[in-house]
A and B are shown apart, each in its own frame.
Chain A
Amino acid sequence: MSAKSLIVVDNVAKEYMRGSERISVLRGVNLALAAADFVALIGPSGSGKTTLLNLIAGLDQPTSGRVFFDGLEISKLDETQLARWRTNAVGFVFQFFHLIPVLTAYENVELPLLLLNMTAQRRREQVLLALDLVGLSHRLHHRPGQLSGGEQQRVGIARALVTDPKLIVADEPTGDLDSAKSREILDLLQSLQQELKKTILLVTHDPTAAARARRVLRIDKGLLVEERTNRCQRLAV
């Protein structure tokens, strides 16, 4: 375990019951992620990528083992404590964007800030900054239905960034986009990691997306089976 590790996964296992059958999704995973790193998690469908991401992001609890975030054992926290912790610590980017359709881009990005003790003026500044970072200052008052897929994902990224979390988890963020838009989103994630020093954990099937990461972890049948470091990350165009 490195002293600089932001996230430490210690011998984590996760099992589900499907009817009377016990399904073992993760089987003793050990992992440490450094701060400001860009890590891709790859593997076939059903290998346990998303489950591992959920555990690291505090969306689920392991059956056994421990998960630490910045020294805090998040696998011990209850649902309410985890919700509070997530607001500040983790930003989420989803494959299907998951924006609230009745809210504008501005209001979607503002959502996580409503949970923080913050003045309206400060909230406004944060939201405008986040939307500016993703290049959507001109689309503040558009609803998701009025935005393209790429723009919706940018709003999703702005929403993930707005609370200034240390970790951004992205689950197949380019899975619902064409190749041009995918490139744009990956460029954006990469530049955020490099400029804002965010730790990015990217779950993907796409080898092109994984190539953007500094470190690639391959998971199969609930175990980490391969780890490699990309010698040179492809820079944002």
Chain B
Amino acid sequence: MKFFLLILKNLRRNKLRTTLTALAVAVMVTICTEMMTILFWVHQHVHTQACQSKLLVSERWVAPSCIPARYLSLLTHQEGVEDWTLWNLYTGYLDASRQNSRKGFGLATRPDNLIAMHIGLEKLDPAAVLALQREKTGAIVSADLMEQMSWKVGQQFTVLSSSHPGKDLRFKIVGVLPPGEYVRNFFFREDYYEEGTGNKETITCVWLRLRDAETAQRVAGRIQEQFQHNQPELKVETESAGVARFVSREQALLSILKWVVAILVIDMAIVLSNSISVATRERKGEMAVLKVLGFEPLAILVLVVGEAMLIGAVSGLIGAALAWLCSALAVSGLLPSSSATRIFLSFPIQVQMIFWGALMGAFVGFAGSIVPAWNARKVRVSDVFAKIA
């Protein structure tokens, strides 16, 4: 702690260099933070217990799936099923332009257990769910769609159907989905879907929640066996398997993302290392003076590494805080809609990432400074003074 002032003052020595180094690290941490959020999202969805104990039942060979409604009671009465819900996908245009960019994907479902059955809706305002239960034509719409269409809660909108059975439906917005999971979706009531479209015969998929992952595996096997000779045949998979399937499809993209994060971290370390190397070379005489005064080689090493870690941690903190702030502003609708804000809406950055950003910066500072610090600790006092004299 006694050396902290010395480290701090050293950073003020060449303000331009310190600022540029900090800026480079901050920008890279900002990018890394969003990428890590995406990778963390994938990891969480593939590995969490909640995802492994939830089954998604859909039609095996047809997409979009179309399960006969009569299967529903057979599925939901399986032993071990604790709760269930269903989806009926309702796709359509949100305005008369009928452009694909104006398409929305409605999910007709049960309103009573909406939050309990859907990962990513934990932060949904319960008042919105109550409003959906009260209002038959109600819809809870994603933040992304709300922003794109400039809608407000309480407003009505009509979806021009682009899917079978081709009936347009009018909705009243009763709430907004938390950002993250559902980007271009809106939830509405299954009974309104049946009434409005007249489709009471089929459902898109069924979600079953089981006690644990083991039960989920057992029930999945039983359903597969029970329906294997039926027409249509069913496919059963855990939610995590569903995500894993998506992940395996997008594996190349995710691998690139991981490599980009790794390269950025290495790049940050190089930027910092270069800056610290220049600084230590410039201050070789001072390092020698410190040694003369009694600073041990380890203390010199700590001073150099401490300087780099401080600049890394502060820059990382600023970079991650900036990313989080942008994400928070995008989520609250205070940032204008753009491709960048859409990413933040799909993968909102958690406040904890500020801590991880600082930690990443500090790590990069350590990695980038260890070689120059090692060289600095080996400065020979007599050599330096001989050169100076």
Chain A residues near B (Cβ < 8 Å)? 50-51, 54, 57, 59-60, 79-80, 83-84, 86-88, 92, 94-96, 98, 100-103, 107, 111-112, 114-115, 159, 171-172
Can you offer 8 A-B residue contacts whose CB atoms are under 8 A?
A59-B381, A60-B382, A84-B294, A103-B9, A112-B293, A112-B294, A115-B293, A115-B294
| Nearest neighbor of A61 in chain B, beta-carbon distance | B382
Instruction: Known A50-B386, A95-B389; judge A102-B294 contact (CB<8 A).
Output: no
Whether B382 lies near A83 (C-beta < 8 A) is: no
Whether A102 lies near B12 (C-beta < 8 A) is: yes
- Whole-angstrom CA separation of A214 from B5 in the bound complex: 41
Chain B residues near A (Cβ < 8 Å)? 2-3, 5-6, 9-10, 12-13, 285-286, 289-299, 381-382, 385-386, 388-389
Residues of A near B12 (CB, < 8 A) are 102
| Nearest neighbor of A175 in chain B, beta-carbon distance | B389
- Whole-angstrom CA separation of A172 from B386 in the bound complex: 13
Residues of A near B10 (CB, < 8 A) are 102
Whether A50 lies near B294 (C-beta < 8 A) is: no
Instruction: Known A50-B386, A102-B10, A102-B13; judge A80-B296 contact (CB<8 A).
Output: yes
Instruction: Known A83-B291, A102-B9; judge A59-B297 contact (CB<8 A).
Output: no
- Whole-angstrom CA separation of A162 from B299 in the bound complex: 20
Residues of A near B385 (CB, < 8 A) are 50, 54, 94, 171
List 7 additional contacts besides A50-B389, A60-B382; criterion CB under 8 Å. A54-B381, A54-B385, A59-B382, A80-B296, A86-B294, A87-B294, A114-B3
Residues of A near B291 (CB, < 8 A) are 83
Instruction: Known A103-B6, A103-B9, A107-B5; judge A86-B292 contact (CB<8 A).
Output: yes
Whether A111 lies near B293 (C-beta < 8 A) is: yes
Whether A100 lies near B289 (C-beta < 8 A) is: yes
Q: Smallest CB–CB gap between A167 and chain B, Å?
A: 13
| Nearest neighbor of B381 in chain A, beta-carbon distance | A59
Question: What 8 pairs between A and B have smallest CB-CB spacing?
Answer: A87-B294, A102-B9, A83-B296, A98-B289, A114-B2, A60-B382, A112-B293, A86-B294
Q: Smallest CB–CB gap between B306 and chain A, Å?
A: 13
State the majority secondary structure of interface residues on B.
helix
Residues of A near B298 (CB, < 8 A) are 80
- Whole-angstrom CA separation of A58 from B310 in the bound complex: 33
Which has the most chain B C-beta neighbours within 10 Å: A83, A87, A159?
A83
Whether A54 lies near B289 (C-beta < 8 A) is: no
Residues of B near A57 (CB, < 8 A) are 292
Which has the most chain B C-beta neighbours within 10 Å: A87, A98, A171?
A98
Whether A92 lies near B293 (C-beta < 8 A) is: yes
Instruction: Known A96-B388, A100-B286, A114-B3; judge A54-B9 contact (CB<8 A).
Output: no
Instruction: Known A59-B381, A102-B13; judge A83-B285 contact (CB<8 A).
Output: no
Which has the most chain A C-beta neighbours within 10 Å: B2, B285, B286?
B2
Residues of B near A95 (CB, < 8 A) are 389
| Nearest neighbor of B1 in chain A, beta-carbon distance | A114
Instruction: Known A79-B297, A83-B297, A103-B6; judge A111-B290 contact (CB<8 A).
Output: yes
Whether A87 lies near B382 (C-beta < 8 A) is: no
| Nearest neighbor of B2 in chain A, beta-carbon distance | A114
Residues of A near B292 (CB, < 8 A) are 57, 59, 86, 92
Residues of B near A111 (CB, < 8 A) are 6, 290, 293
Q: A80 is contacted by which of B289, B297, B381, B388 (Cβ under 8 Å)?
A: B297
Residues of B near A115 (CB, < 8 A) are 293-295, 299
- Whole-angstrom CA separation of A84 from B385 in the bound complex: 20
Residues of B near A96 (CB, < 8 A) are 388
Residues of B near A112 (CB, < 8 A) are 293-294
Residues of A near B295 (CB, < 8 A) are 83, 115
Residues of A near B13 (CB, < 8 A) are 101-102
- Whole-angstrom CA separation of A94 from B381 in the bound complex: 13
Residues of A near B299 (CB, < 8 A) are 115
- Whole-angstrom CA separation of A107 from B2 in the bound complex: 11
Residues of A near B388 (CB, < 8 A) are 96
Whether A86 lies near B382 (C-beta < 8 A) is: no
Q: Smallest CB–CB gap between B1 and chain A, Å?
A: 10
- Whole-angstrom CA separation of A200 from B389 in the bound complex: 21
Instruction: Known A86-B292, A100-B286, A115-B299; judge A60-B9 contact (CB<8 A).
Output: no
- Whole-angstrom CA separation of A152 from B9 in the bound complex: 19
| Nearest neighbor of A83 in chain B, beta-carbon distance | B296
Instruction: Known A50-B386, A60-B382, A96-B388; judge A159-B296 contact (CB<8 A).
Output: no
- Whole-angstrom CA separation of A159 from B295 in the bound complex: 14
| Nearest neighbor of A57 in chain B, beta-carbon distance | B292
Residues of B near A98 (CB, < 8 A) are 285-286, 289
Residues of B near A60 (CB, < 8 A) are 381-382
- Whole-angstrom CA separation of A171 from B298 in the bound complex: 26
Residues of A near B297 (CB, < 8 A) are 79-80, 83
Q: Smallest CB–CB gap between A23 and chain B, Å?
A: 12
Q: Smallest CB–CB gap between B286 and chain A, Å?
A: 6
| Nearest neighbor of A55 in chain B, beta-carbon distance | B382
- Whole-angstrom CA separation of A102 from B10 in the bound complex: 7
Q: Smallest CB–CB gap between A41 and chain B, Å?
A: 15
Whether A54 lies near B286 (C-beta < 8 A) is: no
Residues of A near B2 (CB, < 8 A) are 114
Q: Smallest CB–CB gap between B379 and chain A, Å?
A: 11
Residues of B near A80 (CB, < 8 A) are 296-298
- Whole-angstrom CA separation of A159 from B289 in the bound complex: 11
Residues of A near B296 (CB, < 8 A) are 79-80, 83-84
Q: Smallest CB–CB gap between A47 and chain B, Å?
A: 14
Q: Smallest CB–CB gap between A14 and chain B, Å?
A: 10
